Amino acid sequence: MAEFLLNVIQLEIMARSWISEDHLGLDASAAVVGDVAITAHLWGNSEGVLAGVPFANVVARELNLNITWLRHEGEWLHPTVKVAEICGPARRVLLAERTVLNTLARASGVATRTRGLREQLTLLNWRGILAGTRRTTPGFRLIEKYSLVIGGADTHRNDLASMVMLNANHIRTAGNVKKAVTIARRVGGFTKKVEVECLSLEDAINAASAGADIVMLQDFVAKELNETTAYLKKEFPRLIIEASGYNLTIDNIKDFALPAVDIISTAQLTQGYSSLEFNLKVDEPHADCDHTNEQ
């Protein structure tokens, strides 16, 4: 289902860009292998969540390769397991190799880290929303945001147009939080929520009083966060409270999973993840390989 979130035209543009980036000049290795038909086996060598299948599919489709998946997206992989088979002309399979492996490695890394935090929150009986942030890799945002969904998290803002978020720089430039929220409400329209980043209880009270829909409590220490969220929820029952921290981990996430917290967000999901390891191994050339991509 998650793959239906993706724009097929955008996927094709991205795949062509990736392939072109990896083959800007003359590729002597392609002359070595030619167009002999081969089947390559894609192996997962790490433990974690498989993610990034639609991106591998579109690379294969652009190169007219046939890819058959033996494991499902979102499935937990144990090393060493065969994940897929790729069939087609040798030079095209090997042109796809690094792009497919890099994409799967990073997408699966995001999904795996996300799944770990989501499961820890479940164990804590916290039922709010776990979300990523806009701290994503330039040019790789769509893959990282998509992988958050596979791992069980919310994407938060996909881009600047998705929601109005006002931080200290916006408020300082506008003059005060009330003026900033008023302008955001007027130009953003009724379809957009307004969120204000807050560094203190005073900031949060001012933002809520000005009409913000969401306050993001940034890098609060545990005791302060508990007291602040309890007060805000009592005084502003409809206010959505987001607790955010860059250094959030499985070990300290309990400090964020409070009854008055609606959303926990962290950049660690898209900046602090470790990539999973995948590799591709080619069979002996054979004549019965179907070159047609049926994805």
Residue 162 CB partners (closer than 8 Å, separation 6+): none
pLDDT category at 12 given cuts 50, 70, 90 is very high
**146 and 101 in a common domain:** no
Residue 284 has pLDDT above 80, yes or no: no
Tens digits of per-residue pLDDT, 59-76? 999 999 999 999 999 999
pLDDT category at 4 given cuts 50, 70, 90 is confident
Residue 293 lies in a domain: no
**247 and 140 in a common domain:** yes
Residue 295 has pLDDT above 50, yes or no: no
Q: Which domain holds residue 50?
A: 2-112+275-282
Tens digits of per-residue pLDDT, 173-223? 999 999 999 999 999 999 999 999 999 999 999 999 999 999 999 989 999
Q: What is the DSSP string of 9-41?
A: HHHHHHHHHHHHHH-SS--HHHHHHTT-EEEEE
Residue 287 lies in a domain: no
pLDDT category at 288 given cuts 50, 70, 90 is low
**218 and 89 in a common domain:** no
State pTM to two decimals: 0.92
Residue 45 has pLDDT above 80, yes or no: yes
Residue 154 DSSP label? B
Question: Where does the chain show beta strands of DSSP type E?
Answer: 37-44, 48-49, 66-69, 76-77, 81-89, 129-131, 164-166, 194-198, 214-218, 240-244, 263-265, 278-282
Asked if 182 contacts 166 with a C-beta cutoff of 8 angstroms, the reply is: no
To the nearest whole percent, how much of the chain has pLDDT over 70?
97
Backbone phi, psi, residue 23, to 5°: -145, 70
How far is the first Cα of the chain from the last one, in angstroms, to the nearest whole number?
15
Total tally of structural domains belonging to the chain: 2
Tens digits of per-residue pLDDT, 96-111? 999 999 999 999 999 9
- Give the span between the Cα atoms of 157 and 117, in whole angstroms: 19
- Give the span between the Cα atoms of 109 and 141, in whole angstroms: 14
Residue 55 lies in a domain: yes
Residue 206 CB partners (closer than 8 Å, separation 6+): 177, 178
**265 and 131 in a common domain:** yes
Residue 291 lies in a domain: no
pLDDT the model gives residue 294? 45
